[in-house]
């Protein structure tokens, strides 16, 4: 069962659309686990994963080529500061570098053998890598490295913006900042995961989106919303933020939900949520270029998803019913009306689902005008869905 939720600060509504997050075919019969993805452009994308896997597409995911990494180690992170130059880090101290946009890769010796977790590539020369209670930094494209100890640090998350200013997090999850290149760190008020657009503007999500414009000294709510935490977050400009939920609504630790947050001075704060309770789904990493996004994760097998529309729904062949039906009133107290304005739907199913994903009502209809008694349902927010054989529409319903 798939649930698509759109949380508005004032108006609450949503709809299923044609495929937005679409599964891509890598052409691999037994693909390894994919750990990270980086979109150099909307069409040129590099994915890294287990067994030294590096995949690249130059046509937006239509075809993929496997590149020789020279290793069988687990590759964890990939970043490109410019189109030609990129870096990959992985287990056993693996650092790989490309100077031809990911076609060929060479191994860089850092003198370390730990499993590298975090990566921040500022430009073609400045590279910062984090691992257990340490970070190493190169300012000459990987030719030489300096090691700094970071005791009790959450070493997965790190972002640098120049040789001095960077962000990471303490083991407790509290955001930390350095202004001396990683030698010393001081705690801020934010939490992991975080994402900074530049050295001053950054975000994290906790019961809503919090934003700083002063380098993390203060964070203020942009808008409030769902209380679930993210496992991964990225920003597509200052007014569009995407996040992968951390074990959203399931309790088994897998990330099966996505949120898109939008806001502006003229538009209300909005949280668009896609969630699927299929336990085979787990999402690891998300990255955007030119408003085209890619996700790597798991859906029974390793999967790459793509979104070129900016709309937060998953793959579906359903056509929208939005223009063919009228649903009123909303909010509702005693009775909801559904009218079919165009076409002949024949049999269609009406269902009502609560915000925990439990279906509390389901019935088949043929009539073009129906009324459903809502007085016996508990007050709250629900998802009202209307579905035919090949079409579906869902929207949020408030019962007062």
The total number of residues shown for the chain amounts to 400
Q: How confident is the model at residue 342 (pLDDT cuts 50, 70, 90)?
A: low
Residue 135's φ and ψ, nearest 5 degrees, are -140, 150
Q: For the chain, how are helix, strand and coil distributed in percent, rounded to 5?
A: 0, 50, 50
Question: What pLDDT is recorded for position 316?
Answer: 40
Q: How confident is the model at residue 381 (pLDDT cuts 50, 70, 90)?
A: confident
**Is the separation of the CB atoms in 239 and 263 below 8 Å?**
yes
User: What digits encode the pLDDT tens for the residues 170-188?
Assistant: 888 899 999 999 999 999 9
- Cβ neighbors of 161 (< 8 A, separation 6 or more) are 122, 196, 198, 199
Question: Torsion angle of alpha carbons 273, 279, 285, 291, nearest 10°?
Answer: -40
User: What digits encode the pLDDT tens for the residues 69-94?
Assistant: 999 999 999 999 999 999 999 999 99
Question: What pLDDT is recorded for position 12?
Answer: 31
Look-up of token digits 């947050």: 261
Worst-scoring range by mean pLDDT, 13-27, 33-47, 290-304, 337-351? 13-27
Q: How confident is the model at residue 222 (pLDDT cuts 50, 70, 90)?
A: very high
Mean pLDDT of 338-343: 74
The answer to whether residue 261 scores a pLDDT higher than 90 is yes
Cβ neighbours, 10 Å, residue 372: 16
Give the domain ranges of the chain: 2-307, 319-399
Full-model pTM: 0.74
**In angstroms, what is the C-alpha Rg of the chain?**
23
3-class DSSP assignment, residue 72: coil
> And the tokens for 328?
């009123």
Instruction: Name the DSSP letter for residue 185.
Output: -
Distance CA 322, CA 312 (A): 16
> And the tokens for 274?
């896609």
Residue 245's φ and ψ, nearest 5 degrees, are -70, 150
The answer to whether residue 11 scores a pLDDT higher than 80 is no
> And the tokens for 114?
């730990």
> And the tokens for 1?
């069962």
Mean pLDDT of 34-51: 97
3-class DSSP assignment, residue 255: coil
Distance CA 89, CA 77 (A): 5
CATH superfamily for 2-307 is YVTN repeat-like/Quinoprotein amine dehydrogenase (2.130.10.10)
The answer to whether residue 312 scores a pLDDT higher than 60 is yes
Distance CA 366, CA 361 (A): 17
Identify the CATH number of the domain defined by range 319-399.
2.60.40.3080
């Amino acid at each position: 069962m798939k649930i698509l939720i759109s949380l508005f600060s004032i108006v609450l509504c949503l709809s299923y659309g044609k495929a937005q997050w679409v599964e891509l075919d890598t052409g691999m019969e037994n693909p390894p686990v994919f750990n990270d993805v980086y979109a150099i452009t909307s069409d040129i994308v590099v994915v890294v994963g287990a067994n030294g896997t590096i995949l690249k597409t130059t046509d937006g995911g239509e075809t993929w080529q496997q590149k020789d990494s020279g290793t069988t180690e687990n590759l964890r992170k990939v970043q490109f500061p410019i189109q030609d130059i990129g870096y990959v880090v992985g287990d056993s101290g693996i650092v790989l570098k490309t100077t031809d946009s990911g076609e060929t890769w060479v191994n860089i010796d850092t003198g370390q053998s730990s499993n590298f977790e975090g990566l921040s590539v500022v430009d073609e020369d400045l590279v910062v890598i984090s691992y257990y209670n340490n970070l190493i930094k190169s300012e000459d494209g990987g030719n030489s490295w300096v090691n700094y100890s970071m005791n009790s640090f959450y070493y997965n998350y790190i972002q640098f913006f120049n040789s001095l200013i960077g962000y990471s997090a303490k083991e407790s999850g509290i955001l930390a900042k350095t202004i001396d290149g990683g030698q010393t760190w001081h705690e801020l008020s934010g939490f992991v995961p975080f994402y900074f657009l530049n050295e001053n503007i950054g975000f994290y999500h906790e019961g809503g989106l919090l934003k700083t414009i002063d380098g993390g000294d203060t964070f203020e709510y942009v808008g409030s919303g769902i209380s679930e935490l993210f496992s991964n977050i990225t920003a597509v400009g200052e007014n569009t933020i995407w996040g992968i939920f951390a074990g959203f609504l399931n309790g088994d630790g897998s990330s099966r939900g996505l949120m898109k947050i939008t806001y502006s001075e003229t538009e209300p704060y909005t949280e668009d949520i896609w969630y699927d309770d299929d336990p085979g789904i787990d999402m690891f990493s998300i990255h955007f270029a030119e408003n085209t996004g890619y996700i790597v994760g798991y859906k029974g097998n390793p999967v790459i998803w793509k979104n070129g529309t900016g709309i937060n729904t998953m793959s579906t062949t359903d056509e929208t019913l939005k223009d063919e039906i009228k649903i009123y009133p909303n909010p509702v107290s005693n009775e909801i009306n559904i009218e079919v304005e165009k076409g002949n739907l024949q049999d269609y199913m009406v269902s009502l689902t609560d915000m925990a994903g439990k279906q509390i009502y389901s019935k088949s209809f043929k009539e073009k005008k129906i009324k459903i008694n809502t007085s016996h349902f508990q007050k709250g927010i629900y998802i009202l869905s209307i579905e035919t054989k090949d079409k579906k529409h869902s929207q949020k319903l408030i019962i007062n």
